[in-house]
Amino acid sequence: MTWDSFRAAEHFTMRNARLLDRHRFDFLFQAGSAEHVRSALAAYRNIDGGYGNGLDPDLRGHASQPVSVELALRLLDELGPLSQPLAAGVCRYLNANANADGGLPAVLPGVRHTEAAPWYQHTDDFTSRLDTTAMITGLLHKHRVTHPWRDTATAYCWKKIDGLKWTDPHEAIGICSFLQYVPDRQRAMEALGRLSTKIRAVIDVHPSATGHVHTPLDLACHPDHIARPLFTDSEIERNLEAFEHDQRPDGGWDACWDHWDTAATIEREGMRTIQRLRILRAYGRIQVDLPRPRREDPTD
């Protein structure tokens, strides 16, 4: 990626992305303040410790939802360590809304009465989902957040992973996050080896694929990712080239998501553009010498 391509992505973000993602761009690529991102993200937090208020572009309602908490944790992970009060509030919310088996649904029943994408608003299955639970639990382990719910959720994830017969791209991404950070490293590597063919089968390695597809780079988003060995060097290289090729003339990337609302699609495009830039930099594909993020400990 050349300087001109990067500047086009910057201009796209400043013109189109929401304030939160503009601050993320500043932090990730221009040595901006992590506190600006935290402040913007705090506006989406609710008194119950969860997140809502449109943080996930496909969930426009005010109420906290588990998938919104997942997204919040992924964004906070970009910034550095989690503060203890924030982590405690998140765990309080997760514990209060988990199912009896310790897992989380993607969304709660109240979503049916809010503005939301059809695939959320028409949900009638609120049983636990491995993708959401595994992603959240993995991030809590990464940040050494201790809580009884985390331990219950860890047991839930192991039980589901041990009995897994098939998977899907969302679930595979959550599983790999869990396996990357769960403390039992031997068990994690054994599980990855057992599931490797199932995970590869649901990831589209062909860079010409269109629509809502998941590429090897959506899973192995940096070279040290636990899933990186599942793909060949040539598969990774071809998909990196496709990422570069798919940048639009206006500097952004398509959301690659089912369109249901104009605002949601625009917000997704801002998020996707930052995601693509992060992956390209992680794999050394951005020629520009960009400053690295200054990760500040919120407890300092």
Q: According to the model, what pLDDT value does residue 287 have?
A: 81
Q: According to the model, what pLDDT value does residue 130 have?
A: 98
Q: According to the model, what pLDDT value does residue 291 have?
A: 79
pLDDT tens, position by position, 171-180: 999 999 999 9
Both tokens assigned to 88: 């405690």
If we measure between CA atoms, which residue out of 269, 290, 273 comes closest to residue 281?
290
Contact 253, 279 (CB under 8 A): no
Say if residue 256 is exposed, middle or buried (CB neighbours under 10 Å; 0-12, 13-18, 19+): middle
CA distance 214 to 218: 6
Q: According to the model, what pLDDT value does residue 48 have?
A: 97
pLDDT tens, position by position, 180-213: 999 999 999 999 999 999 999 999 888 766 666 7
Whole-prediction pTM: 0.95
pLDDT < 50 positions in the chain = 300
Residues belonging to the chain: 300
Concatenating the DSSP letter of every residue in the chain gives --HHHHHHHHHHHHHHS-HHHHHHHHHHHH---HHHHHHHHHTTB-TTS-B-TTSSTTB-SSS--HHHHHHHHHHHHTTSSPPHHHHHHHHHHHHHH--TTS-B-SS-GGGGGSSB-HHHHT----S-BHHHHHHHHHHHHHTT---HHHHHHHHHHHHHHHT-S---HHHHHHHHHHHHH-S-HHHHHHHHHHHHHHHHHHS---TT--SS---HHHHS-STTSTTGGGS-HHHHHHHHHHHHHT--TTS-----S--S-HHHHHHHHHHHHHHHHHHHHHTT---S-PPPP----TT-
